[in-house]
């Protein structure tokens, strides 16, 4: 669906930016209000409801026992799936995931995987035969801009919330003990920080209005130690090298604060 944003809105938002202001009065490095609850879906082994402003995502995890990939026989699997359900915006349509949905799931997945969030080797049960597969499902409920950062924040929280049954192998038998639920083996924490380029300025956490007029977008995934685990440029216009490098260093400060929203354990 083509969304027509009156030129006049674009102009006014851009002009504000040039004066260092945003239409909702935030600073360029400010997120909208963030709320994060975990353990909200009892049937899910892990869950989180994340809100950034009015953007709202429900994330749930389901563990399943499955076969490892043949090239990584003693490593568990994290599978990330995203559904831009038609509930969340007037232009989202039922059907198989479209390219925005696929990109969201894949960038989220890369961010978690490359950061080494999970110690996937600890999810092996019988080498080459059985491993835990953790399905991470992003259910987008309300789309008001910046799905990327909300998706990674919610995914990180849902993974930290997840408990799976203890398993042990006795002879030929795999015993799954649902009475002893244990947390996932977490090695690292990672979050994502997205900037919109509007009127030559980069501002963090774009609102829907800002997304609709942005020239370019850059999402940077970062671990607690400040290293970069994922990056994805979007949008129909270019970025300069300088803008990219500055975005990285701003991200290092911003994710420090963002980490505070994660459960402490």
Residue numbers 12-71 binding another protein by CB under 8 A: 41-44, 47, 54, 56, 58, 60-62, 64-65
Q: What is the DSSP string of 146-157?
A: -HHHHHHHHHHH
Give least dist CB 128 to another protein, A: 11
Give least dist CB 197 to another protein, A: 11
Backbone angles phi, psi at 167, to 5 degrees: -125, 145
Q: Which of residues 186-245 bind another protein (CB under 8 A)?
A: 218, 223, 226-241, 244-245
- Here the tokens at position 26 are 């935030």
Contact by Cβ (8 Å): 217, 227: no
> CB-wise, 228 or 262, nearer to another protein?
228
> CB-wise, 19 or 172, nearer to another protein?
172
Determine the Cα–Cα distance for residues 103 and 233; give it in Å rounded to an integer. Answer: 11
Determine the Cα–Cα distance for residues 77 and 67; give it in Å rounded to an integer. Answer: 9
> CB-wise, 20 or 231, nearer to another protein?
231
102: buried, middle or exposed (CB in 10 Å: 19+, 13-18, 0-12)? middle
Q: Which listed residue (21, 37, 72, 110) binds another protein by CB under 8 A?
A: 110
The DSSP code for 227 is -
Give least dist CB 16 to another protein, A: 22
Count the site residues for another protein by CB under 8 A.
Answer: 75
Q: Which listed residue (75, 248, 259, 262) binds another protein by CB under 8 A?
A: 248
Give least dist CB 17 to another protein, A: 19
Give least dist CB 262 to another protein, A: 19
Q: Which listed residue (14, 21, 26, 141) binds another protein by CB under 8 A?
A: 141
Q: Which of residues 76-95 bind another protein (CB under 8 A)?
A: 81, 83, 85-90, 94
Beta-bridged to residue 139, according to DSSP, are 58, 83
Backbone angles phi, psi at 96, to 5 degrees: -65, 155
Give least dist CB 216 to another protein, A: 9
Determine the Cα–Cα distance for residues 4 and 249; give it in Å rounded to an integer. Answer: 34
């Amino acid at each position: 669906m083509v969304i027509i944003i009156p030129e006049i809105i674009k102009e006014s938002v851009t002009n504000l930016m040039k004066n260092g202001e945003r239409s909702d009065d935030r600073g360029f490095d400010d997120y909208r209000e963030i709320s994060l609850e975990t353990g909200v879906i009892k049937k899910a082994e892990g869950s989180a409801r994340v809100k950034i402003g009015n953007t709202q995502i429900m994330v749930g995890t389901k563990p399943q026992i499955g076969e490892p990939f043949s090239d990584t026989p003693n490593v568990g699997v994290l599978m990330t799936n995203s559904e831009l359900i038609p509930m969340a915006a007037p232009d989202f349509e039922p059907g198989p995931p479209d390219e925005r949905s696929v990109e969201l799931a894949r960038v989220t997945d890369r961010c978690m995987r490359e950061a080494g969030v999970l110690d996937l080797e600890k999810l092996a049960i019988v080498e080459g035969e059985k491993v835990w597969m953790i399905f991470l499902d992003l259910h987008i409920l309300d789309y008001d801009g910046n799905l990327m950062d909300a998706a990674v924040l919610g995914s990180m929280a849902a993974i930290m919330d997840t408990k799976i049954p203890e398993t042990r192998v006795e002879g030929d038998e795999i015993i799954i003990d649902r009475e002893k639920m244990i947390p996932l083996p977490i090695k690292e924490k990672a979050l994502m920080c997205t900037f919109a380029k509007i009127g030559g300025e980069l501002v963090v956490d774009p609102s829907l209005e800002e997304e609709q007029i942005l020239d370019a977008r850059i999402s940077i995934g970062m671990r607690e130690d400040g290293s970069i685990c994922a990056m994805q440029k979007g949008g129909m216009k270019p970025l300069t090298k300088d803008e990219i490098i500055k975005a990285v260093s701003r991200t290092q400060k911003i994710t420090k604060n963002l980490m505070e929203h994660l459960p402490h354990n």
